[in-house]
Structure 1
Amino acid sequence: MYRQFYRNMASPQAAEKLKVLMFLGSTREGRLGMRVARFMKGQLEAANHEVTLFDPLELDLPLLRKAVHHYPDRSTAPATLAEAEKIVKAADAFVVVTAEYNHSIPPALSNLLDHFGSSGYSYKPSGIVCYSPGQYGGMRAAMQLRALLGELGCLSVSNIFGIPEVQKAIDENGQALNDRMVSGAARLITQLDWHAWAMKNHRDTVGVPK
């Protein structure tokens, strides 16, 4: 479905790749989020996007004491943090894959997002993918995340891709177990792609407010 959409595009943009940074929010033992991240990465790449994944377990950033933008000289910041900031700033769009901890945003996710200043996020769109083992699909966390992303400057697109009973929807390798996964991801990506190109073109043309 989505590959066909891109084959049919006549714009020169079809040959280009948007840079999408995906944040994974969960760190707890037995997390299901990695299968969602693998699935979304595959769908985004099929839609001609260059995808980088920020996994808080791999980045292993500490509980926030000093955000990267609080280092006037980036050479004095931890190397992992300074390199991660470059990826944030280079991104054209963001996808946030979130679980729901106590009906709220996972602390590892907000901690990861808060390590970077709003200038890296601003004037770029974001998409929310939420999931849970139960019937609500992480929607309560998504509603709170929408407010946070707005404050960072990367407004989320209207569609939220919620995945209830995620263990029955996507396998450990990131393969969809029902047709709804591909069509649901496509709706989110279609919106994200449109907004990302519009914002990128305007940033390239007129820059961003100082």
Structure 2
Amino acid sequence: MSNVWKKVVVFLGSTRNNRIGDRVGKFVCRKLKEKNLDVIFVDPVEYTLPLLNKPCHFYRGTENPPQQLSDMDKHIIESDAIVVVSAEYNHSIPPALSNTLDHFGPRSYERKPSAIITYSPSVVGGARAGMQLRAMLGELGCISISNMFTISQVHKCFDENGMPLDTEPGSHMDSGIERCLKQLEWWANAAKYQRDTNGGF
């Protein structure tokens, strides 16, 4: 079927020392790869970008953007969905995450859904950052699905390889990520069908 989603870009938000976000990122990427998807993982620790000076879409004419920006922009444009894995810094979006997202324009993100996965050591699970991300992703054109997956007390949830410590069938980690990704898949396929048959808007 031509409308089956194929590619997802996963953005990780945290750069702090002793972060747990990379464990959450590994967990999410593994779950997506189990669905036979091409997963592009954007870790701001490894994918080093300066504080935003000139975003990719501000380069004009014969002036070419840096190769890493050009390559990542192509991945975003080609993707069928966006997943954002975010910590909560001072009850808000981590600056490394917004800095990375803002290096690319709405024309790269538009006409595809996004999923928000947040975490924190508290019982809130990063939900306050998640609500702010809803507004940001909506303005970028990759409107978030309703099922935001939050992980509270994240320091108790994963080993260093991103494997859940609670292995009981139907655990919050298993059931939560599956509900989120199932909804994302539905919207990704719907949006891909529209892009393939009706083009832009």
Per the normalisation by structure 1, the TM-score is: 0.90
Confirm whether residue 119 of structure 1 aligns to residue 107 of structure 2: yes
Confirm whether residue 207 of structure 1 aligns to residue 195 of structure 2: no
Which of 71, 85, 94 pairs up with 1:106?
94
Superposed, which structure 2 residues align to 1:174-189 within 5 Å?
Answer: 174-178=162-166, 179-189=171-181
Q: Quote the sequence identity (%).
A: 51
* SS of structure 2 residue aligned to 1:57: coil
- Matched AA of 2:120: S
Deviates more, 1:145-154 or 1:174-183: 174-183
User: Which 4+ runs in 1 deviate beyond 2 A?
Assistant: 73-76
Confirm whether residue 191 of structure 1 aligns to residue 179 of structure 2: no
Question: Number of paired residues?
Answer: 197
- Report the Cα distance in structure 1 between the residues aligned to 2:164 and 2:124, rounded to whole angstroms: 19
- Report the Cα distance in structure 1 between the residues aligned to 2:7 and 2:44, rounded to whole angstroms: 19
Q: Structure 1 pair 74/141, CA: closer, same or farther in 2 (3 Å)? A: farther
Q: Structure 1 pair 181/188, CA: closer, same or farther in 2 (3 Å)? A: same
CA contact (8 A) 1:17 1:48 kept: no
* SS of structure 2 residue aligned to 1:31: coil
Which residue is 2:19 aligned to?
Answer: 31
Superposed, which structure 2 residues align to 1:78-97 within 5 Å?
Answer: 78-97=66-85
Name whichever structure is richer in helix by fraction.
1
Q: Deviations over 1:116-142 (max 9, x none)?
A: 010010010000000001111000000
Per the normalisation by structure 2, the TM-score is: 0.94
Q: Deviations over 1:15-72 (max 9, x none)?
A: x552000000001111110000000011111123221101111110100010000001
- Report the Cα distance in structure 2 between the residues aligned to 1:59 and 1:148, rounded to whole angstroms: 21
CA contact (8 A) 2:5 2:192 kept: no
- Report the Cα distance in structure 1 between the residues aligned to 2:26 and 2:47, rounded to whole angstroms: 17
Q: Deviations over 1:132-163 (max 9, x none)?
A: 01111000000000100000000000001000
* Two-structure CA RMSD over aligned residues (Å): 1.4
CA contact (8 A) 1:74 1:82 kept: no
